[in-house]
Amino acid sequence: MRFAAAAAAEYTLTATRVSGTACTSAADCAAEFRNQLLRGECNLTSGACEPIDGAGAVALGEPCATDVDCPAILFEAPPGGGPWQHFSCDSSSGKCVL
C-alpha cells in the first residue's frame, strides 16, 4: 500500500520580543523555569536565566542541569556498599543525587 505525500502548506511564523522582569537570583529562575532544568542560574548583568554550568563541582542535593554538573565519583570506604559511588543529575528534581 502506498500513500501519496501531502502537498506542502505555506505559513508565516512571527515572534515578538517583550520585556519582562529580570532575574535577581537563581531562585527567580527556578520559580519561572521549574520545568526547564537547563536554565537554573541567573546572569545578574543581563537579568536572564541561563544554563547551569557546574563542570563537575555541584554538591550533592544542589541544582544541576546534566550529569556533567555533578561530581563523577566519590570515594567511600567499606562497609558503605563499595568503594565508588556515581553522582547523577535527577531529571525530576533537578538536583545531584547518588
- In the chain, domain spans: 20-51, 54-98
Indicate if the pLDDT at residue 71 is higher than 80: yes
Q: Nearest Cα to 52, choosing from 93, 61, 60, 43?
A: 43
Residue 68: strand, helix, or coil: helix
Mean pLDDT over the full length of the chain: 77
> Which grid cell sits at 45?
548583568
Higher pLDDT, 86 or 79: 86
Please answer whether residues 83 and 97 qualify as being in contact, where contact means their C-beta atoms are separated by less than 8 angstroms: no
Q: Give me the long-range contacts of 89-92 (CB less than 8 A, separation at least 24).
A: 89/37, 89/64, 89/65, 91/37
Indicate if the pLDDT at residue 57 is higher than 70: yes
